[in-house]
Amino acid sequence: MTKSKPIVFLDRDGVINAFPGKGQYVTRQENFQFLPRALEAVRLLTEADCEIYVISNQGCVSRGLITEKALGEMTERMLEEIRAHGGNIQKVYYCFHQKLDNCECKKPKIKLFLEVLGNRKPDMKQVFFVGDSEEDLGAAKNLGCQGILVLSGKTTAEDLSNFPLTPDVVRNDLYEAAQWIIQKKF
């Protein structure tokens, strides 16, 4: 029996690119800035034969702050830059809704994760979600995978004492999370 590839889900803002601030969104290409070592982290995960997907809440679309087309163009530029640095993200999934829409795809709900998995039944010890928020950890718990909280975005080290959910792992950034995942998978 062959071991399945590890699956790594990544949040976007605060994990791959700089978090724009609470209540703010990255709605212009010039405001999209990769976090230090994020490109290298995706490359490391790619070289370690991980399947990588981005799942991100982007309510800015339903708020009319950016069009789906403009977000798609920004996403394509992000993916091009990641590929240029030796990384590969299989696909990016966005929830465009707001909380009041009560959709099934806005994290911490897991519809988008289930779309990725399809009919596969992976070993959940080989499935990871790297995020920077309570919603991200909630999604990891709801999916039953390992939740890795990074402190490079919405959540700070000071926030952890009041955090309602306990992450499986806390790391400073995606690079440190990638190193942990790679060590864990072997």
Q: Which pLDDT tens digit goes with each residue over 14-69?
A: 999 999 998 899 999 999 999 999 999 999 999 999 999 999 999 999 999 999 99
Q: What's the CA gap between 35 and 116, in Å, rounded?
A: 25
Q: For 146-174, write each residue's pLDDT tens digit.
A: 999 999 999 998 998 888 889 999 999 99
3-state helix, strand, coil in the chain (%, to 5): 40, 15, 45
CA–CA separation, 143 vs 138, rounded Å? 9
> What would the mean pLDDT of 105-119 be, rounded to a whole number?
96
Residue 11 Cα to chain centre, angstroms: 2
Whether 13 sits among the annotated catalytic residues: the reply is: yes
pLDDT for the residue 148 = 98
Helices H / strands E in the chain, number of each: 5, 6
Percent of the chain with pLDDT over 70: 97
d(CA 77, CA 116): 22
Q: Over 60: is that where the pLDDT of 186 sits?
A: no
Give the model's pLDDT for residue 162: 87
Q: What angle do CA 102, 13, 142 make, to 5 degrees?
A: 45
Among residues 13, 132, 136, 173, the one annotated as catalytic is 13
Q: In angstroms, rounded to a whole number, what is the distance separating the alpha carbons of residues 100 and 63?
A: 12
pLDDT confidence tier of residue 1, bands split at 50, 70 and 90: very low
What does pLDDT average to over the chain?
A: 94
pTM over 0.85: yes
- 8-state DSSP, 6: P
Give me the pLDDT at residue 142, please: 97
Selected catalytic residue, list 11, 132, 136, 173? 11
- Any catalytic annotation for residue 11? yes
**For 179, phi and psi rounded to 5 degrees?**
-60, -40
- We find that the CATH architecture of domain 7-185 is 3-Layer(aba) Sandwich (3.40)
80 CB-near residues (< 8 Å, 6+ apart): none
Sorting pLDDT into bands at 50, 70 and 90, what band is 184? Answer: confident
CA distances to 23, 35, 86, 129, 186 from 44, in Å: 31, 15, 9, 16, 14
Domain positions in the chain are 7-185
The pLDDT of 68-81, averaged and rounded, is: 97
User: How much is the average pLDDT of 122-143?
Assistant: 96
Has residue 3 got a pLDDT over 90?
Answer: no
Asked whether the beta carbons of 52 and 46 are under 8 A apart, the reply is yes
